[in-house]
Amino acid sequence: MSLYRLIARFVLRHRAAYASSAVMLAAIALLLVWIPRQVGHVVDGLVASRWSEGALLRELAWLLAAGAAVYFLRVGWRLRLYAAAYRLGVELRERLYARLTLQGASFFQDRRTGNLMALATNDIDAVEMAAGEAMLAGFDGTLTLVLVLATMSLGVDWRLAACAVLPFPLMALGFWRISRHVHEASRLSLERFAGLNNHVQETLAGVRTVRAVGLLARSEQQFNTLAAGAAQASLDAQRWEAAYEPAVGCTFATATALVLGAGGWLVWHGALTVGQLTSFSLYLGQLVWPMFAAGWVLSLLERGRAAWDRLQPVLDTPLSVDDHGTVERVLPGPLRIEHVRFAYEAAARPALDDVSLELAAGGTLGLVGPTGAGKSTLLRLILRHHAPDAGRLLWNGVDLRDYTLAALRAGIAWVPQEAFLFSAPVAANIALARPDATREEIEQAARLAAVHEDILRLPRGYDTPVGERGVTLSGGQRQRVAIARALLADAPLLLLDDALSAVDTDTETRILAHLRAARVGRTVVIVSHRLSAVADADHTVVLRDGRVAEEGSHSELLAAPGWYARQWRYQQLQASLDAS
C-alpha cells in the first residue's frame, strides 16, 4: 500500500474532522480574497473623494471583522485537523508495537533495536506530517490559488492574470527536480539517524563490556562519526528543501515585474484604475502562499514517502510464528514431543533432529548435554518462539499450534539463561506476571528462590529500583529474582533454561530443595550444565548434536557407560577438589 492510499483511507475514516477543517479553510480563503477587493474599493473611493467619515469607518470596520474572523477560523481548523492527524501517528505506533511484540525470535535476528526505535519516532513523525501539514497546505494552497486566480481574472483584469501565471510552468519544473532530490536525501537522513540510534542503544546496553575492554574512546569516536554523518544527511535534506524558496522567489519576482509593467501600461492608457491595480497587486501577493504551499507539500510528501518505504515492510512482514489457534486456556497435562526437527535459517545442520520424548503431568524433565546440543532450542519450540520444521509438540493432548499464543505463554513460566529485569523496584519485577500479588506472596516466592535475604540487604528492600536490565544486582541475584517471578506466576508448566548457572552450589541446593516442595502438581523442565540440578528429575534426556543420545532416570544413566555418567564423575571430582 502506498503512502497516498494510507492517507486516503485515514482521511475517509476521519472525514468529519477533515471536512470541517476544509470548510473553515474555504471560509478563510474567501475572506482573504475579499479583503484585497475591499481595499481596492476603499482606495478608489478615497481617490474619488466619495467617502464620508462614517462610511469610511464602516468599510474599515468590515476589514477588521474579516481579519478577526480569519484569526478564529485558523485556530479552529488547527484544533480539528491536527487532532485527527496526530491520531494517525498513534495508530501507526500501536500497529508497529503490536507487530513487534507478536513476532518471533527469527524476525529480530536481522533487525537492530535502534532501527526499530527510529521507525517508531522519526519515521512515523514524517508520515504523520504528511497526513497533517501536507493535507492542510495542499488543500489551502490549491483553494487559495483557484480563488485568487479566478478573482484576478474575472474581478480585475484577465490580461494581468495571464501575465502573472506565465512563470508558473518553470516553477513546476523546478519543483519536480527538487522533489526527487528531497526524497533521496530524506531517505538517507532517516537511515543515518537509525544507524546513530543503533550505536547509542547497543553502547548503553553493553556499557559494562565497553568499559571493561577499554573501548570507551573508540565508541566515542564511532558516535562522533555517526552523529556527523546523520547531521550532514539532515543538512543535505534541509538544503534541498530550502531550494523551494528561491524557486518561489524567482517566480514571484518575475510575475511581479510582468504585472507591474503590463498594469502600468494599462493605467497609463486608462484601461485600468489605480484601485484595480492596487487590488491586483494585493492578490498577487496572496499567490506567494500557494507557491510556498506547493513546495512545502512536496517536501512533506517526499519525507513521508521515504519514511513509509522504511516502515511498511516491517508492518507487512508476516508473523514468524502464526497465531491462528483457538484454544484459549492451558490446563495441566502431559507434555509430548513427537519426531521434532528444526533448523535455524542458513544453518549447516539442524539444531534438533527427530527428537521424541514424553513427560507425565506434574513430572520433572531434565535436559542435559554438551553446549550447542539443542537444549535451549527445544524450550523455544515449546514457547513457540519458533515453529518446528517437522513433528509435533503437544500439551495435554493438544497441539501447541492450536493454542492462542497469549494462552500458551500465560500457561508457561520461563526463566531464560539471561534473566531480564525491568527498570522497576524488585517487588514489581517479581510480580510482573501477577501485578495483584500481595507483598506476602511476593516475599514467599523470593524465599523459595533463595533471594529474600539478599533483597532485605538492599537500601530500600523490595522497593529498591534495580536499574536498567537489573544493573544494580549481581548475575546470581538477577537469576533468582527471575525464578521468584516464575514461581509466583504459578503456571502449569515451568521452564528453567540453565537458570542456576550464576549461583554457587550451596545456593543451588537450597533452591532445588525449595523447588521440589513448590512444584507439586506442576510440570517442570530443567535445562542445566550442572547434572546435580537434574539428579532428582523423574526423567532425564541427554541431547547431543540435536538428537536424543541417552535417556532415563539418574540412576539408570549413571549405570550406563555414556556421556551422562562420565560428566557426573567429572563434576563430582571437580566439586570435591573445590571443597578441599
CATH number of 389's domain = 3.40.50.300
Question: What pLDDT does residue 452 have?
Answer: 86
Looking at the fold, whether 302 and 347 belong to one and the same domain comes out as no
Q: Other C-beta atoms within 10 Å of 73: how many?
A: 19
Mean pLDDT of 90-98: 86
Residue 580 has pLDDT above 60, yes or no: no
Can you give the residue range of the structural domain that contains 205?
3-316
Give pLDDT tens digits for 287-320: 777 777 777 787 788 888 888 888 888 888 887 7
State the DSSP code for 271: S
- Among 335, 366, 352, 377, residue whose Cα is nearest residue 528: 366
Q: Which of 77-86, 258-267, 539-548 has the highest mean pLDDT?
A: 539-548
At a CB cut-off of 8 Å and minimum separation 6, what does 19 contact? Answer: none
Range of weakest confidence among 48-57, 292-301, 506-515: 48-57
Among the candidates 265, 288, 316, a domain finishes at 316
Residue 520 has pLDDT above 70, yes or no: no
At a CB cut-off of 8 Å and minimum separation 6, what does 425 contact? Answer: 460, 462, 463, 464, 465, 466
SS3 label, residue 366? strand
Question: What pLDDT does residue 258 have?
Answer: 73
Any domain includes 96: yes
Any domain includes 236: yes
CB 405 within 8 A of CB 325: yes
CA-to-CA distance for 389 and 345, rounded, in angstroms?
11
Residue 214 has pLDDT above 60, yes or no: yes
Sequence-ordered alpha helix ranges (H) in 103-123: 105-108, 113-118
CA-to-CA distance for 239 and 241, rounded, in angstroms?
5
Q: Which residue has the cell 534495580?
A: 466
pLDDT band, very low/low/confident/very high, at 519 (cuts 50, 70, 90): low
Looking at the fold, whether 233 and 111 belong to one and the same domain comes out as yes
**Letter string b/e over residues 90-120, b meaning 16 or more CB atoms within 10 A of that residue's CB:** eebeeebeeebeebbeebeeeebebbbebbb
CA-to-CA distance for 500 and 529, rounded, in angstroms?
9
Looking at the fold, whether 389 and 284 belong to one and the same domain comes out as no
Looking at the fold, whether 106 and 250 belong to one and the same domain comes out as yes
Phi-psi region of 17 (alpha: psi -120 to 50; beta: other; left: phi over 0): alpha
Question: What pLDDT does residue 1 have?
Answer: 64
Among the candidates 260, 289, 316, a domain finishes at 316
Looking at the fold, whether 53 and 197 belong to one and the same domain comes out as yes
Q: Other C-beta atoms within 10 Å of 529: how many?
A: 15
Range of weakest confidence among 13-27, 149-163, 190-204, 411-425: 149-163
Sequence-ordered alpha helix ranges (H) in 317-368: none
CA-to-CA distance for 561 and 138, rounded, in angstroms?
80
Looking at the fold, whether 165 and 241 belong to one and the same domain comes out as yes
Any domain includes 218: yes
Q: Which residue has the higher pLDDT, 335 or 504?
A: 335
Question: What pLDDT does residue 56 have?
Answer: 72
Cα separations (Å) of 131 from 72, 75, 86, 159, 387? 23, 18, 9, 37, 39
Mean pLDDT of 205-225: 76
CB 66 within 8 A of CB 31: yes
Any domain includes 513: no
Give pLDDT tens digits for 227-255: 888 888 888 877 877 777 777 777 777 77
CA-to-CA distance for 57 and 439, rounded, in angstroms?
77
How many independent structural domains does the chain possess? Answer: 2
Question: What pLDDT does residue 167 have?
Answer: 75
Residue 157 has pLDDT above 70, yes or no: no
Mean pLDDT of 122-146: 79
